[in-house]
Amino acid sequence: MPKYKLLALDMDGTLLNERSEISEGNAEWIRRAREAGVTVCFSTGRGFVSALPYAEQLNLDSPMITVNGGEIWSKPHVLYKRTELSPYYVRRLHALAKEHPEVWYWAYTTLGIYNKERWFEPEDDYEAHHWLKFGYYTEDDRARELILAEAQSWGALEISNSSPWNLELNPEGVSKASALRELCEWMGIGMEDVVAAGDSLNDIAAIREAGLGVAMGNAQTAVKQAADVITLTNDEDGVAEIIKRFVL
């Protein structure tokens, strides 16, 4: 009997290797975990459309957490809960992005993604969309720090990252951890029954709150410090190693 009932996996930098693939080793051990009765759940910053092909590849008919907890799916295509980002803040975040011309930015809606090269028309009709998450990417540390400081000063957003060079912004209180808590309640289990694995700041809260929090070998330093254990990297079948050592 497995000790844990739910395995919550980040995707990029965790389940997926650097070629954005699920390795044969990871796929095999996920299959074994499912056969043993463990629920395997994606817990990702990706949107549903981007995550779905990987769920289909693994034949997962289990819950999914997408856009950093902005959406919780009881199974693929069956939405359990969605928390939208206010158009007021999307407007402010977009204006902040335009103050830094070197910074790439994007925004998730319930219907798709807009970005620096493909924004909606008319540009100021923010209310016409159902927003989920806003993001910035830049390798210019100073620009990123200025954006972070400004967004933090509003006191209304959950700010994390999925790489050292980006910022991801959700409504305050919305995170992978908050989504996992709700998912556990729906499933009738406790957070102590969860293994949460990831590599970036958007994984930290879930890693801290789970029964077992696992940092990937390639994780950011802060994530490793928050974790109970550290596994192999995403290019070394680190997820398979988690299942072998701790789940089964």
Q: Say whether 11 sits in a helix, a strand or coil.
A: coil
Consecutive H or E run containing 70: none
d(C-alpha 105, C-alpha 166), whole Å: 9
The whole-angstrom separation of Cα 11 and Cα 139 is: 22
Count of residues for the chain?
248
Q: What is the DSSP letter of 192?
A: G
In terms of phi and psi (left: phi > 0; alpha: psi -120 to 50; beta: otherwise), the region of 168 is beta
Distance in angstroms between the alpha carbons of the first and the last residue of the chain: 8
Q: Are 72 and 81 a contacting pair, CB within 8 Å?
A: yes
* DSSP letter assigned to residue 30: H
**Active site positions, annotated:** 10
Alpha-carbon distance of 195 to 37, in angstroms, equals 14
Whether residue 122 is preceded by a cis peptide bond, meaning omega within 30 degrees of 0, is yes
How far is CA 128 from each of CA 66, 157, 243, rounded to the nearest angstrom?
22, 21, 44
Are the C-beta atoms of residues 229 and 246 closer than 8 Å to each other?
yes
